[in-house]
Structure 1
Amino acid sequence: MKKKNTSYIGISLIILVFGIIFIPKIIERINNNDIVESDRLNVNKSSKKGPEVGYIEQYGQRKKVPDFKFINQDGDTITNKDYLGKVYVVEFFFSTCPSICPIMNKNLVYVQNQFKDEENFGIASFSIDPEHDTPEVLKQYAEHYGVTNPSWNFLTGDRQKIYEIANTGFGIFADKDATVPGGFAHSGLFALIDKEGYVRSRNDEFGNPIIYYRGSVERNKSVIEGEEAPQIDILIEDINTLL
């Protein structure tokens, strides 16, 4: 009997020592989110993130931003390579647009302000009226809207090349049209680009990529049945995911 009691006491002491030494360390690791995938079984790293932001595929290839080279509002030459390493949003607009462009750029200023301390976020705004939208005009336009992000470039240059990038490169419609207000017809969509220059998108409720985000609907607009809903908040979520 004495032997058995001695064994119990020894086991109890081992358990007590283990608890004193190791349990506080385990609790500390949990609190610091230091438990890694190898500590668990079948853990998906993205399980705690928002919706997946997938690639857009065209002809079996991931869709990438077409090469471009234009002048910005400061007179500097900007290319697609200047955005490598950054998550950024692309839009097509013109400064005298009386309809959707003011809404689009008001939304983008809101997006800009959510990432004011993020150096790896940018915006590329391509003017579809480059004859009017000179660097000087675009500089005033940027100041009017309160643009502060140093990686938000308002780009101007050869009209045909800009239209080719819009219509062929992205598939975001832009063209001259004397029958519409302002004389230019264009889409109010935003493209989301990752750090490697690929076009990215979340899926809709049916599992299909939305491809582009609605930029021409006011972020806080009350939507009635049948109207398009704002997508600025989900754009912000997806920017965060890519960052």
Structure 2
Amino acid sequence: MKRIIYLFLIAVVITACKETLRKLPIFGNRQAVNRLVDEKKIVDTIYQTIPAFSFINQDSITISNHLFDGKIYVSDFFFTSCPSICPVMHRNLMKVYEKYKGNSEVMLLSHSIDYKYDVPHVLKSYATKLGVSGSQWQFVRGPKESIYGLAKNNYLVSVGEDSKAPGGYVHQGYLVLVDKDKRVRGAYDGTKTEQVEQLMSDMDILLAETKQGK
């Protein structure tokens, strides 16, 4: 019996170590560059990152990419009058919000794709109804070209206007995980509970990864 318990404990430790050592992939374009280190030429990889941005949030305050410096965050694209996937997606994202509420290393960022209707007070009402308070979860609006461009080119999410679609807009329900270096590390279907559970698991891995890198 002691031998069985001993072997079980070893298996638990090995599993924990594997989980700790597991690295999340880095998505997007990348470029190999040459640089000198101690007079030796090495090849380094430059990864695609989320570029600088500036948007108005639910409190009518201008926020920028600097608000997310040194933090991991989850990004998504939605609109407040969405009759299809947004309600499910944000109910699931609330689980992420509740789990990491008060964690200074974690933020959430929801971009409205309805540049006509979703003004700050509408976003504020939406956030309040959802149960969100404080500044950890930001709801933002901006010019169509800026929001749509970020979605397509940087977060790798498809969005657009479509008069035949429910609510007049189409978008994917992905929750995109971004690391402290503003690199995309994962995308998860926000309408599926198991995908959101995976997101939270990967967030824990990413938080541990950044601590190990210190």
Compared with structure 1, are the counterparts of its residues 118 and 178 closer, same or farther at alpha carbon in structure 2 (3 Å cutoff)? same
Aligned pair partner of 1:93 in 78, 93, 103: 78
Question: How high is the TM-score relative to the length of structure 2?
Answer: 0.78
Aligned pair partner of 1:195 in 180, 189, 205: 180
Q: How far off its partner does 1:178 sit?
A: 0.7
Q: How far off its partner does 1:200 sit?
A: 0.9
Gapped runs of 5+ residues in structure 2?
1-13, 32-45, 208-214
Aligned pair partner of 1:240 in 197, 204, 209: 204
Q: How far off its partner does 1:104 sit?
A: 0.9
Q: How far off its partner does 1:54 sit?
A: 2.3
Q: How far off its partner does 1:169 sit?
A: 2.2
In the aligned structure 2, how far is the partner of 1:65 from the partner of 1:237? 22
Structure with more of its chain in strand, by fraction: 2
Paired-residue identity, %:
36
1:106-143 CA-to-partner distances (Å, cap 9, x unmatched) read 11111110112312110010000021000000000000
In the aligned structure 2, how far is the partner of 1:193 from the partner of 1:59? 16
- Which protein is bigger by CA-based radius of gyration? 1
Do residues 130 (structure 1) and 115 (structure 2) align?
A: yes
Aligned pair partner of 2:170 in 185, 189, 193: 185
In the aligned structure 2, how far is the partner of 1:196 from the partner of 1:113? 24
In the aligned structure 1, how far is the partner of 2:149 from the partner of 2:130? 27
In the aligned structure 1, how far is the partner of 2:109 from the partner of 2:19? 30
CA contact (8 A) 1:56 1:199 kept: yes
Q: How far off its partner does 1:170 sit?
A: 2.0
Amino acid at match of 1:142: A
In the aligned structure 2, how far is the partner of 1:141 from the partner of 1:88? 20
Counting only pairs closer than 5 Å after superposition, residues 1-243 of structure 1 correspond to structure 2 as 47-49=18-20, 51-60=22-31, 61-148=46-133, 150-201=135-186, 212-217=187-192, 219=193, 230-243=194-207
Corresponding position of 1:18: none
Corresponding position of 1:39: none
Q: How far off its partner does 1:48 sit?
A: 4.3
In the aligned structure 1, how far is the partner of 2:146 from the partner of 2:189? 24
Number of aligned residue pairs: 179
Bigger shift: residues 162-171 or 51-60 = 51-60
